[in-house]
Chains A and B, each alone.
Chain A
């Protein structure tokens, strides 16, 4: 069964450093998402991406964050200057179509630890 993959599984970084989290979507999916989950808390929507553009973003997704699909396969989330409060699990998810009408599939996540 096709699945979303994410790398790395765990990233440790110093505050102020840049990190790039990577996701490989399911091959025929066109809609891509990033979510954040602080330990023990709810899943928070960050951004949706379709046709090489951001389609929706939340208040959390400020200028420190960016997304791109540089090579047509990997979908990346970049955090430019990490803060302690960025420590969380980051999930990528993909779907065939709009969330209103389609199931989304989550990857296993990247645990980001900012020291």
Chain B
């Protein structure tokens, strides 16, 4: 079945440094969604990418969808303490969704 792999599992960065998490699928995705989960919280939808090669920005966050629609990345510029949490990518097909294992971001002050 479809698998969504995400790396790295953990990332420690100094506040102000950049952060990137990568997502790869074993099959072509119709779309990729990104979520953020704060410690002790629930997943919160960030964005959805649909088109091959699509790039979307939300303030310091940049999301990319690969040309082959099998990989995606989330890049955060100049991390802040509020960025702490786990970032999940997920591939949705109609009414089913597969999440990656997530990247847990720790910010060192």
* Count of chain B residues with a beta carbon within 8 Å of a chain A beta carbon: 24
Closest B residue to A104 using CB positions: B45
Whether A42 touches B99, Cβ cut-off 8 Å, given contacts A91-B43, A103-B48, is yes
Q: Scan B18-36; emit 1 where CB is below 8 A from any A CB, else 0.
A: 0000000000001101010
Closest A residue to B31 using CB positions: A100
Q: Which of A92-115 contact B (CB under 8 A)?
A: 93, 98-101, 103-109
Q: How many whole Å from B3's CB to the nearest CB in chain A? A: 11
Q: Are A56 and B96 in contact (CB under 8 A)?
A: yes
Q: Are B95 and A55 in contact (CB under 8 A)?
A: yes
- Which residues of the partner chain B approach A31 to less than 8 Å between Cβ atoms? 95
Q: Scan B68-102; emit 1 where CB is below 8 A from any A CB, else 0.
A: 00000000000000000000101011111111111
Q: Are A106 and B44 in contact (CB under 8 A)?
A: yes
Whether A42 touches B42, Cβ cut-off 8 Å, given contacts A48-B96, A99-B95, A100-B92, is no
Q: Are B45 and A105 in contact (CB under 8 A)?
A: yes
Residue numbers of A with Cβ under 8 A of B are 31, 33, 41-45, 48, 50, 55-56, 58, 91, 93, 98-101, 103-109
Nearest 5 Cβ contacts at the A-B interface: A99-B92, A56-B96, A106-B42, A48-B95, A42-B101
Instruction: List 5 A-B pairs, Cβ < 8 Å.
Output: A31-B95, A45-B97, A91-B43, A99-B96, A100-B30
